[in-house]
Structure 1
Amino acid sequence: MHRGRKWWTVVLGTSAGVVAAGAGTVWLSSGDGAEKRVVDTSASVRISAADSNEAARYWTAKRMAAAKPVGRAEAPGGAARTQAAAQAVPRSTAFHGIPTLGALFFNNGSGDHYCTASVVHSYSKKLLITAAHCIHGGRGAGYVSKVAFVPKYEKGKRPYGTWTAKMLLVDQRWASKSDPDLDFGFIGLNPLKGKTIEAAVGYNMLGVNQGVGKYVNVTGYPRIAYDKRDQPIYCRAKTARQSKYQVRMDCSGFYGGTSGSPWLLKYNGKTHTGYINGVIGGYQGGGNTHWRSFSPYFDNDVNVLRSAADKRA
């Protein structure tokens, strides 16, 4: 559990545009069938049907193509030392994407932007996971607006349609302090044509307390603004400990826009699914070079937050 705490303070979401504190708990499954009630730390915001409909209309193909990436090194280049380091690590590969992965579009008050998000399994069957900094600005800031998710986005194509958000949720310690160890968040999606996102594209399981030194497939969207191929990338790399609550992996090509990219443990090449064991974010906002990426370590805090998101989705 994060920082060794056994229980948590409570912040619960309320109506659209408002985040308020209040008492509440969520049930947390241990994985062996047992459950316990824990106090959650979530801060959430609900999005009205009118705002969701406006987001669906807002995101035209032209606006998606013009959206700017969030975080990371936003363009190739840099010092010779950085280039030498990039050449010494594995290189990412462009591919056609997978249904459970998509581009996440939003407006953060300074313009239209995008990150990466993926479908994570939940009882509600409606949840995405991404970096907290993609959906909430952290200390002194608030939530983004006009949120839309496009699974398997490639070259402007939307094979599974455009999905709008009903709820955004981060940990209150991210919202109030920009704690990099809690730079992960969840999005509850509205149904589309009568289906949940899981029914439409499938899902990945959540991996918690899996340690480090393991191979993960990391996939994300750095290519919308900078590369005419306009495709996602993937890389298979080994994780390593950066600090007590931060993990890293080395692979080149993860420029801006890859914030929120899932780290898929035990990836199955036939089903194109795995266990989400991290997301690009955390230390240095996920990394200040394209060849080294970071993620908060996924311990029980992420499980508690997913349970709180499921409750509100």
Structure 2
Amino acid sequence: MPPRAKRIALTFCGALATASVILSAGPAPVQALASSRTAPAGITSVPLAQSDADLRKVVDWWTPDRLKHASSYAPKTAASNSGTNGTNGTGSASGTTPSATTAAVTPAAAAAGRTTSTPASNTTALSGSAPPKASTALKLRNPKLPPTVGKVFFRNGTTEYWCSASSVHSKYGNVVATAAHCAYDVKSGKPVENWVFIPSYVGNGETPFGIYVGHTLHLNDTYAATGDFDYDYAFVTVHHGYQWVQDNDANGNVKKDAKGQPLYKRVDMGRLESQVGGQGFAWNRGFTVAAYAFGYPAGPHPNGSRPFTGQTMESCLTKNTKKISTQKWELDKGVLFRGCGFTAGASGGPWVIKYSSTRRIGYLNGVNSLTWDLNGDGRYDGVSSPYFDTATYLVYSYAARQKTD
């Protein structure tokens, strides 16, 4: 293909519901958030469902029936004019051809958890926690995939969306890492609503490790203010998990309501990390790494083909990521995962380095943020993450010290 004929299409990788609500992800003034002033400089912390009343609203919203139908959402994609349009978890937007840039990073000393140094690099990393043996005993679609990875569901306005995410190790075992655009609407300056994380989500609505309601959203101030995709990451602390189970009478028969529908009761699942473990965390690793990317892609490629359903976890492997940028999304120091054909729905899914398929943990070193059509053939063939640097670590470490119930 002649160089001039090549084009690069970008899209956020979050998946959305069928309702038509267009929201800008571009720069816009944000409302002052009182809660963010209690966080250190550079970090915005926003309450999600902290009170008992707010928690109950979220629990009541995500009923067993609603969860069963959640993966039937048809991701919405903007019409393509020249192969540069795409979608994100909060609306539609256009992409542009990237250009090379440079960015300096500074290593930071670890302050939360046990630290390790990765051989042959200047990486500082925090070790994760492996899933309990009970997790590995479950019959998962692929026993080598990490149970830490799952789906997040939420509402923005009147529309329901989903993205991908992962449990990451923390002092209180309650932190989920995802993309910032999967939790915060820059245009309104507000977080999304009814945010829940379901690890190892299965398309039929099963929640083998429980449902975890978001307590507090932590993100970089720059993303909250401008939507700069160099900071498209977020860390959400969550409440203890719960699971819906059918409610039986004394004879073991399923209780039913007046309409004959099964009744369910809520069962406490405890802390997130006690169920699935938590990935470690690494930053200032450099732009060239070997990594796995995980997520729940579902949307179509620019050419309309739809290879994924969004009902099962998918993975990609690369031996060498590289630096990439795009002026459109203010991405100056992105990391490109070439050869990964993820589509909408994969946003927020983790990039894991030094992943052990036996222990099913490694080190979180990125999140799916933008998908790319690098050769202009109408199919996404790359996904990028913001570079995990000292600023990323500061947001993560602040979230990792927050206790929830």
Shorter chain as denominator, the TM-score bin is 0.7 to 0.9
2:283 is matched with which residue: 196, 208, 230?
A: 208
1:95-244 matches, cutoff 5 A:
95=142, 97-156=145-204, 157-192=206-241, 193=268, 195-223=270-298, 227=308, 230-237=311-318, 238-243=320-325, 244=332
Quote the Cα distance in structure 2 between the aligned partners of 1:158 and 1:175. 31
CA spacing shift, 1:286–1:122, aligned 2, 3 Å = farther
CA spacing shift, 1:129–1:74, aligned 2, 3 Å = farther
Q: Which residue of 1 aligns with 2:367?
A: 279
Is 2:155 aligned against 1:65? no
Kindly report structure 1 stretches of 4+ aligned residues shifted beyond 3 Å.
21-26, 66-70, 94-97, 223-229, 285-289
Amino acid corresponding to residue 193 of structure 2 in structure 1 = S
CA spacing shift, 1:18–1:123, aligned 2, 3 Å = farther
Quote the Cα distance in structure 2 between the aligned partners of 1:163 and 1:130. 14
Q: Shift of the alpha carbon at 1:240?
A: 0.5
Unaligned ranges ≥5, structure 2: 1-30, 84-140, 242-267, 301-305, 326-331, 374-378
Tell me, yes or no, if the aligned pair for 1:119 and 1:129 is still in contact at 8 Å. Answer: yes
Is 2:123 aligned against 1:41? no
Quote the Cα distance in structure 1 between the aligned partners of 2:372 and 2:33. 29
Give secondary structure in 1 for the equivalent of 2:162.
Answer: strand
Deviations 1:56-106 (A, max 9, x none): 232223442244558xx699xx97xxxxxxxxxxxxxx9574310001111
Q: Which residue of 2 aligns with 1:307?
A: 397
> Would you say how many aligned residue pairs link Structure 1 and Structure 2?
264
Quote the Cα distance in structure 2 between the aligned partners of 1:143 and 1:69. 21
CA spacing shift, 1:252–1:214, aligned 2, 3 Å = closer
Give secondary structure in 1 for the equivalent of 2:173.
Answer: coil
Amino acid corresponding to residue 208 of structure 1 in structure 2 = W
Q: TM-score, normalised by structure 1?
A: 0.75
Quote the Cα distance in structure 1 between the aligned partners of 2:380 and 2:235. 24
Report which of the two has the higher share of helix: 1
Q: Which residue of 2 aligns with 1:263?
A: 351
Unaligned ranges ≥5, structure 1: 1-16, 27-38, 80-93
Tell me, yes or no, if the aligned pair for 1:102 and 1:118 is still in contact at 8 Å. Answer: yes
Amino acid corresponding to residue 166 of structure 1 in structure 2 = H
Tell me, yes or no, if the aligned pair for 2:366 and 2:385 is still in contact at 8 Å. Answer: yes
Quote the Cα distance in structure 2 between the aligned partners of 1:261 and 1:66. 19
Give secondary structure in 2 for the equivalent of 1:245.
Answer: strand
Backbone CA RMSD of aligned residues? 2.9
Give secondary structure in 2 for the equivalent of 1:165.
Answer: strand
1:249 is matched with which residue: 333, 337, 343?
A: 337
Tell me, yes or no, if the aligned pair for 1:206 and 1:275 is still in contact at 8 Å. Answer: yes
Q: Which residue of 2 aligns with 1:36?
A: none
Tell me, yes or no, if the aligned pair for 1:121 and 1:127 is still in contact at 8 Å. Answer: yes
Higher mean Cα deviation, 56-65 or 231-240? 56-65
Quote the Cα distance in structure 2 between the aligned partners of 1:164 and 1:224. 25
Quote the Cα distance in structure 1 between the aligned partners of 2:372 and 2:230. 14
Tell me, yes or no, if the aligned pair for 2:43 and 2:218 is still in contact at 8 Å. Answer: no
Deviations 1:137-171 (A, max 9, x none): 12444210111111111222211121111112221
Give secondary structure in 2 for the equivalent of 1:235.
Answer: strand
CA spacing shift, 1:272–1:40, aligned 2, 3 Å = same
Amino acid corresponding to residue 234 of structure 1 in structure 2 = S
Amino acid corresponding to residue 201 of structure 1 in structure 2 = V
Q: TM-score, normalised by structure 2?
A: 0.59
Q: Shift of the alpha carbon at 1:297?
A: 0.4
Higher mean Cα deviation, 169-178 or 99-108? 169-178
Tell me, yes or no, if the aligned pair for 2:42 and 2:221 is still in contact at 8 Å. Answer: no
Quote the Cα distance in structure 2 between the aligned partners of 1:69 and 1:149. 19
Give secondary structure in 2 for the equivalent of 1:207.
Answer: strand
Quote the Cα distance in structure 1 between the aligned partners of 2:354 and 2:270. 27
Tell me, yes or no, if the aligned pair for 1:140 and 1:176 is still in contact at 8 Å. Answer: no
Q: Which residue of 2 aligns with 1:56?
A: 59
